Structures are given as structure tokens and as C-alpha cells.
Chains A and B, each alone.
Chain A
């Protein structure tokens, strides 16, 4: 890898680490405005993280090593997954390192350990959250994979950077809108489920009985909680980047000239902030689904992604 490659990889890490708390803050701020409240500052999550890193960690008596390593595994696997996603530049220098399958299972690794940690601490709510998260994760995984495959098929490559590169230049790809459209809707529904958003989960809830993600991390405190929350923010950013750059990559830098990179940065930040605002609007309009209705919601996402793959063939009969 040449020095530009290293620099871009480093820049990507800084961007994901630095910008993800802001996205969380932005969603909270927009939601507060929609509820006619002033709301906390958009930079509040940074202050929260700093505070949490300085606090002492409290362990449960039943906690084993799983409880201690989970935040690190979750944080590092999410960060590794974020390095596979083109944000402001494509193709990424780490393109060779993994494709969409690697991305999905890097994220699943973090989820798996979080589920274990939820049960490890011995609290009743943790186990409940873990069982719910396992249900949701098992339903989102096929839908996520298939919707990514549908997009991959249109460009003939499973590497995210290659897909985004070809789509950005409209080069060697299949331009039928239906598979893209269905994969987009499916991916958006999966995003809501995976990042613990309304209508699947409510990130702002204080009621343990309705929690999913929050229930699993109920026993975490101090720097561990900071890592888990930071990872959740990064996961949100990963999914928003996927939606933005797989389906509308235009504006992304395809060469390393400073002008293209600057333009890529501005367009990218605009796109994901726009998506974050849409999430805030949807969260204000929708109510959380009952847990047993979530299977129907994710069933629709799964069927849409299956159809996206099938339609790639239906519309290509020659």
C-alpha cells in the first residue's frame, strides 16, 4: 500500500470515530425540535463519552471474562467493518480485505458477544434483552445479506468499493431500477432493526420491559459503556453510509485529488446527515411495534430482498 492508501485509511478511521457521536446527537436534537423541546446540544454525546471514560467500572458478581472483553470486541469489530465501507473515497485501499459477507459477519460478531454479555451479568433484564436481540438478529441477517447481494449482482462484484465505484461512474452495471428500489427499502428496514431504532426498538426508552439493545447493556458502566455506545453510534453510521453510497454514490471521490476528496467529504456528510434527519422524522411519526409484530416487519424486509434478487433475473430475460 502506498502512502496515500495509509492516509486514506487513517482518515476513514478518524471520520468514523469522530463523526458517529455527532450523528446520534443530531437525531436527538431533531427529535427534540419535533416535540417542541429545546433538546440537548448536538455535541452532547461527545461530553457523555468523555464523562463515561473517566468513570469507575462496576462489575456484577456473576460476570466472567466475557463481560470484560465484549466492549473491546464489539468496538474493534465495528471499527474494522467501517473500514470496508466507502465513505468519501472509492475504491478503498482495504478493498482487498473483505467483501459484503465479511462486513455482515464482522457486525454479527459484535452482536453475538453483546448477546453473551447481556446474559453474563446475571440480571434478568439482560437475559431478556439478549433473547430479543437474538430473535431480531436472526431475522435481519438474511434480509441484510440478500439486499446487499441484490446490489452486488447489478454490478457483478461482491466488494463494496467496487460496487460503489462502478455505480458512481455508471460503468458496467445493470441499470434496472426495480431491484435497487426493493433492496433499498429492505436495507432501510434492516437499518431500523439493526441500529435499535423505532419501530423495532426505542433508543430513548427508560422502561426495562420494552428495551432490547438497552436491556443488554444495562449492567455496563464507565469506559465499557462508553465503548458500547460509541460502537452503536458507529454501527448507525455504517448503515447510513451503506444506504447513501450503495444507492446514490454520486459525488464520491473516485481519484485522490484534493478537490475530489473535499467534494466527496461535503457530499457524504450532507447525505448521511440528511438520512439521520429522515430517521428522526420517522421516529417521531411511528410508534414502536409490539415485539411479536417485529417478525412481520422483518418478514416484509426479507421478502423484499428475496424479490430484489429474483427480479434481477425476471427483468433480464433475453
Chain B
């Protein structure tokens, strides 16, 4: 493969990972749950495109499998399950937040800078064409974690979890051109099951407390 192709390819990979990060900020800034689910689907789409690009540039075929699985599970199946849950529970908006949206955005901006400073010494040692994405992957993991902590509704917390998982996948691809196929398959299965379980769990919370507000779970202690 020619040098030019590699340069353009690595720029496209960078562009995809930046778009992944931007959809994270979209999720932070968005209050409507259905739009959050859509943003997650778009984010997974970018992840699949990035994985396919890396597979094409490096000729490692099992990443193609991961890309296809990402599309099937994270772009089609999981958003559909989450949307069904949102419709059944009839919650449309996240109204009460632990951290308001502008502050949340600022915190996430700080998290990106933090991730950049943490990875800076390591990235120098790398030689893969995806190495610049490592900082972004860490930032996405931190932001996913922040979404889980700062949101009240069970559904947005699941989205935070899935965003973290996307960040991990991006990190694995950036640092080592992906994990072995058997590990990838295991993770996809885990994510799918987690999505299903949380769907049922959200229904249960709704039936018990007539709301999917997870802060009610504090009442469960004896």
C-alpha cells in the first residue's frame, strides 16, 4: 500500500474517532432519551466505519468481523431494544440531572484534556497508524463513565455504559489493532445480554416505583 494511501487512511481514522467523541458530547447535551439512543447508534456507526478502515489499511481480516458485528448489534439491535423500553415506559426526557448541561460539557472538556495528558507519554512509543486515537478512546471511556454517574434515568445510564464499551473497542483497535476474535465475540455477546437485562430491569424499576429514576433505589435498603 502506498505511503499516500496510509497518510490519508490514518487521517480518516482520526476523523472517525473525533466524530465518535463529538457524538459523546451530543449525548451529554441532549435531554431527549430517543435522541440519545439515536446518537448512540450514530456513534456505533462511526465505530464500525473506523474498524472497517483499520481492517482495510492493515489487512487484518478479523476486524471486518468486529465491524459487521458492531453494525448488527450496536447500530440495529440495541438501539431498537432501548427505544422499545423508552416507549413502553413513556419517559421522553431527562429532566432532573445531578450536574446541569453546561457544567457537564465543561467537565467532559476537562476529561478530554486529562485523557490527552495521560496518554501523551505512551503515544510517543507507538508505531501503529491508529495511535492518535488512543487519547480519544480514553476520553470516550471517561465520558461514558461520567454519563453513568451524572444521569438519573436507568436508560441514560445504560447508554453511558454502552458508550464506555465503544471507547474500549476504539482503544483496543488504536493500541493493538483489536483484540483476538474470540474476545471480541465474547464482549459483543456480553453487551447484547447487558442491553436485554437492563431493558427488563428498567421495566421492573418502573413497575416498583412508577418511575425509572434510579435514585429511588436508595429506598430499598433496610
Question: What are the residues of chain A within 8 A of B123 when measuring CB–CB?
Answer: 317
Docked pose: A299 CA to B109 CA in angstroms: 11
| Contact A315–B14 (Cβ < 8 Å) | yes
Given A314-B135, A315-B132, A317-B123: A307 in contact with B109 (beta carbons within 8 A): yes
| Contact B15–A314 (Cβ < 8 Å) | no
Docked pose: A300 CA to B14 CA in angstroms: 21
Within A20-44, which residues are at the interface with B (CB < 8 Å)? none
| Contact B112–A300 (Cβ < 8 Å) | no
Mark each residue of chain A from 190 to 207: 1 if its CB lies under 8 Å from any CB of chain B, else 0: 000000000000000000
| Contact A177–B15 (Cβ < 8 Å) | yes
Can you list the 10 inter-chain pairs with the closest CB atoms, starting with the nearest?
Answer: A299-B102, A178-B18, A296-B101, A303-B105, A299-B105, A303-B109, A317-B123, A300-B29, A314-B135, A315-B132
Within A268-308, which residues are at the interface with B (CB < 8 Å)? 295-296, 299-300, 302-304, 306-307
Let me know if A228 is at the binding interface, CB within 8 A: no
Docked pose: A175 CA to B101 CA in angstroms: 32
Question: What are the residues of chain B within 8 A of A304 when measuring CB–CB?
Answer: 22, 25
Q: What's the minimum C-beta distance from B145 to chain A, rounded to whole angstroms?
A: 18
| Contact A311–B25 (Cβ < 8 Å) | no
Interface residues of A (CB under 8 A from B): 175-178, 181-182, 295-296, 299-300, 302-304, 306-307, 310-311, 313-315, 317
| Contact A310–B112 (Cβ < 8 Å) | yes
Docked pose: A299 CA to B22 CA in angstroms: 14
Docked pose: A273 CA to B24 CA in angstroms: 33
| Contact B109–A182 (Cβ < 8 Å) | no
Docked pose: A303 CA to B132 CA in angstroms: 20
Docked pose: A182 CA to B25 CA in angstroms: 12
Query: Which of the listed residues A181, A303, A310, A313 has the most CB atoms from chain B within 10 Å of its own CB?
Result: A303
Let me know if B220 is at the binding interface, CB within 8 A: no
- 15 CB contacts below 8 A, A to B, read A177-B11, A181-B15, A182-B22, A296-B101, A300-B29, A300-B105, A303-B106, A303-B108, A306-B109, A307-B25, A310-B116, A313-B116, A314-B135, A315-B14, A315-B132
| Contact A303–B25 (Cβ < 8 Å) | yes
From A179, which residue of chain B is reached at the shortest CB distance?
Answer: B18
**How many residues does chain B have at the interface if contact means C-beta atoms less than 8 Å apart?**
24
Question: What are the residues of chain A within 8 A of B29 when measuring CB–CB?
Answer: 296, 299-300
Mark each residue of chain B from 14 to 42: 1 if its CB lies under 8 Å from any CB of chain A, else 0: 11001001100100010000000000000
Question: What are the residues of chain A within 8 A of B14 when measuring CB–CB?
Answer: 176-178, 315
| Contact A317–B124 (Cβ < 8 Å) | yes
Docked pose: A313 CA to B123 CA in angstroms: 12
Let me know if B170 is at the binding interface, CB within 8 A: no
| Contact B18–A300 (Cβ < 8 Å) | no
Q: What's the minimum C-beta distance from A200 to chain B, rounded to whole angstroms?
A: 15
Docked pose: A299 CA to B30 CA in angstroms: 12
| Contact B18–A317 (Cβ < 8 Å) | no
Docked pose: A314 CA to B136 CA in angstroms: 9
Docked pose: A96 CA to B189 CA in angstroms: 62
Q: What's the minimum C-beta distance from A61 to chain B, rounded to whole angstroms?
A: 40
Let me know if B215 is at the binding interface, CB within 8 A: no
| Contact A317–B25 (Cβ < 8 Å) | no
Q: What's the minimum C-beta distance from B180 to chain A, rounded to whole angstroms?
A: 27
Mark each residue of chain B from 190 to 215: 1 if its CB lies under 8 Å from any CB of chain A, else 0: 00000000000000000000000000
Mark each residue of chain B from 111 to 132: 1 if its CB lies under 8 Å from any CB of chain A, else 0: 0110010001001100000011
Docked pose: A300 CA to B26 CA in angstroms: 8
Question: What are the residues of chain A within 8 A of B135 when measuring CB–CB?
Answer: 314
| Contact A311–B18 (Cβ < 8 Å) | yes
Docked pose: A303 CA to B25 CA in angstroms: 9
